[in-house]
A and B are shown apart, each in its own frame.
Chain A
Amino acid sequence: MVDRVGAPEFANWSCPLPLKDYPTIVMGHGGGGKLGNELVEHLFLPAFRNPELENLGDAAVLDAGSGRLAMSTDSFVVQPLFFPGGSIGALAVNGTVNDLAVTGAVPKFLSASFILEEGFALRQLAAVVQAMAAAAAAAGVRIVTGDTKVVERGHGDGCYINTAGVGVLRPGIQVGPQRARPGDAVLVSGTVGDHGMAIMSVREGLEFESQIRSDCAALNGMIGDVLDAAGDAVHAMRDPTRGGLASTLNEIAQASGVGVEMDEGSLPVRAEVQSACELLGLDPVYVANEGKAVFFVAAEAANRVLEVLRAHPLGREAASIGRVTEQHPRMLVARTAMGANRVIPTQIGEQLPRIC
């Protein structure tokens, strides 16, 4: 599966020679000794190189300038590790970057912790690390500290990654899930359900042929453009990851004590995502995204924000999908194509594929 989606050859890695002695992760790589140092020296450092990391101290020393800090952490356990449109490495960087960005912070520094399973191919680790380095460069953040632990074979799933991130809040920023108000327009930066269905399409036991690619991307640039253009008119932002758009809209409805109305017909969904969802009995509003943001903005700023979104490469398919209302507080209600209404609740667990 890894080969199919083009994980790079380890031989192409910048400094592979000493690592070639051990083509797979052994317990010693997590032992704090020579093997572990080799990983740092020949793999992590060349990939992530920056002044903060190069000190190789017990902690990175950072100059974050002035202002309030935002901090976030997330762990990544996705399978398969490489999928159409992304990888666990890209997710681990973008996920934390996006959590900071939707808080109104400019993401600056990340940590990266790896929990590796004994026997995990170094070639694959190199590919994961390379994907992280590329994602960090694209997002304009630096990976400044990290850790590696190795668990015995059978006690992990190849590779788990935790990242934590620090960002500096934009001065005067006033966004939060509790700030949505009646009258706000609800905007989404593009098609929903791409990431979850891309993963589904390559998951073992369910491979289906499709062109669906994960939307995995760092949103800080696009969100920065929106905040530059609309400032205070942006009341709330979220990236609808696990649980999908429905969970995000419900969370904001509940946090703000308002109702959210969604026009089902205006929801951007790729035809192939919709088709795959129909086949499997899933609803795209519950399927995860990794490169989308939802904005609650004052009605008069909605068109301006849409223009800014559509001018950004990640927001070309942005759409206005609904509004905030005083009615049905704390609930998300969709207007169906038939003109009727239905409540869209928060999902309890994972969506379960139906029998028929």
Chain B
Amino acid sequence: MKYLTEFRDGEIARRIAREIHQTATRPWKIMEVCGGQTHSILRNGIDQMLPPGVEMIHGPGCPVCVTPLELIDRALAIAAQPGVIFCSFGDMLRVPGTEGDLFQVKGRGGDVRVVYSPLDAVEIAAKNPERQVVFFGVGFETTAPANAMSVHLAKRRGLRNFSLLVSHVLVPPAIEAILQAPENKVQGFLAAGHVCSVMGYWEYPPLAEKYGIPIVVTGFEPLDLLDGIRRAVKQLEEGRHEVENAYERVVSFEGNRAAQKLLAEVFEVTDRTWRGIGVIPKSGWRLNDAYREFDAEERFHLSGIRTEESPLCHSGAVLRGAIRPAECPAFGKECTPRHPLGATMVSSEGACAAYYNYGRFLSAEQLASAGRGLSGAAHG
């Protein structure tokens, strides 16, 4: 498959891994920001190919995971209202709110629909003028252009029954928040390739300069990730802190100008609460005054929502990279993908779910026996 198989070549992967082994002379902690990258690292076993000292720390870049509980509760309340068609991407349906999830709202008779694009929700609004159609617009800069386009089209078509429950979050402020935290251990970043395909990477040189850290724009296939790690390790070993683009086939410095223009037309920067992390100033987007009427929070006046996080769940520390999923006391015990206490266990991109699903709850000995001496082969 063009553009896929050539980035999954085991032989080349082992060659890059060897190069990383030769380059690394001491331990380094590198954070991959995006949940899609976490997923790919664990799915392909990239972490098993790295030298023991080079540690990948899993960042907060899973939109499902960082969407605040309060917003999930708002979504549940809106979806339960008669006359509402509540549209969402699939993996938001199982995210636990304070009381239940969207699946349960659907089971009780709520009209909850999985769509693949917010533009599908706009079509549903056009076909159902007597119903209120709400799209749950979460995500990073990656999903923002399509969400912006949905309200742009709804406004142009005069669809008064469409609205967006929006909680967009932004990567650069999150990177900065991680670097400013006193407990920070991260020495280099793999920037999220698909975010950069929209935004470019002009936002990163000031961060690299200010904090003295290398940032490598990185893709999602095994070879992309290994190349990104290789470049980050090389910079760290040489004492450099530059912004590099290891995902040139998709990302340009400027990014997608048309998308950025649309985003500026529809959204404005706002403070956002990140689930498990807290408020990060200027770390999100909301609809601006010109599009406020399409904001579901304006259209549905909700009161009496009381949110309550599970006291057992340490997903905040996981999202900050302060602990590994298996270090949470609830991991694999009270909290499993079947009964998730926090969003990091729900989403396939969540670090906890990825660890659980790919068997990273096994001890090193168990994994080694599963590998039949394979780590040696991978490193060899």
Contact = CB atoms under 8 A, between A and B. Distances in A.
Given A274-B1, A352-B94, A338 B138 contact: no
B338 A356 contact: no
Contacts of B91: 352-355
Contacts, number: 122
A353 B116 CA distance: 8
A338 B348 contact: no
Nearest to B223: A338
A343 interface: yes
B338 A271 contact: no
A50 interface: no
A339 B222 CA distance: 12
Given A206-B116, A339-B10, A339-B14, A355 B64 contact: yes
A274 B3 CA distance: 13
B370 to A, nearest CB: 5
A265 B13 CA distance: 15
A17 interface: no
Nearest to B354: A342
Among B43, B46, B347, the one with the most A-chain Cβ atoms within 10 Å of its Cβ is B43
Contacts of A349: 94
A340 B371 CA distance: 7
A271 B1 contact: yes
B93 interface: yes
Contacts of B338: 348
B370 A356 contact: no
Contact of B44 (A336, A345, A353, A354): A336
Interface stretch (A137-145, A167-175, A326-334): A326-334
B227 to A, nearest CB: 13
A328 B140 CA distance: 38
A337 B369 contact: no
B300 interface: no
Contact of B337 (A280, A348, A355): A348
Interface stretch (B19-27, B68-76, B148-156, B359-367): B359-367
Contact of B45 (A205, A327, A341, A353): A341
Interface string A253-278: 00000010000010000010011001
A355 B89 contact: yes
Contact of A343 (B93, B143, B357): B357
Interface string B29-43: 000000010000011
Nearest to B36: A356
A341 B48 contact: yes
Contacts of A28: none
Given A331-B359, A338-B44, A352 B93 contact: yes
Contact of B378 (A327, A340, A342, A353): A340
Contact of B46 (A328, A331, A335, A338): A338
B370 A327 contact: yes
Given A327-B369, A340-B45, A354 B120 contact: no
A342 B42 contact: yes
A281 interface: yes
B362 A343 contact: yes
A22 to B, nearest CB: 30
B349 A354 contact: yes
A337 B93 contact: no
A205 B358 contact: no
Contact of B358 (A278, A337, A339, A342): A342
Contacts of A281: 348
Contacts of B45: 336, 338-342
Contacts of A275: 1, 4
Contacts of A265: 10
Contacts of B42: 342
Nearest to B336: A348
Contacts of B138: 355
A303 to B, nearest CB: 23
Interface string B313-345: 000000000000000000000000110000000
Contact of B367 (A205, A259, A338, A341): A341
B188 interface: no
A287 to B, nearest CB: 14
Nearest to B143: A356
B43 A336 contact: yes
Contacts of B206: none
A230 B358 CA distance: 35
B378 A355 contact: no
A157 B346 CA distance: 30
Nearest to B136: A355
Contacts of A337: 8-10, 13, 44, 222
Contact of A205 (B4, B9, B115, B194): B115
Contacts of A355: 63-64, 89, 91-92, 138-139, 143, 347, 349
A340 B44 contact: yes
B372 interface: yes
A328 B42 CA distance: 18
15 contacts: A205-B114, A205-B120, A280-B116, A333-B359, A336-B45, A337-B10, A339-B49, A339-B374, A340-B44, A340-B45, A345-B357, A353-B90, A353-B116, A355-B91, A355-B347
Ranked nearest first, the 8 interchain pairs of A and B with the lowest CB-CB distance are A340-B45, A343-B359, A352-B90, A353-B90, A337-B10, A340-B48, A352-B91, A342-B358
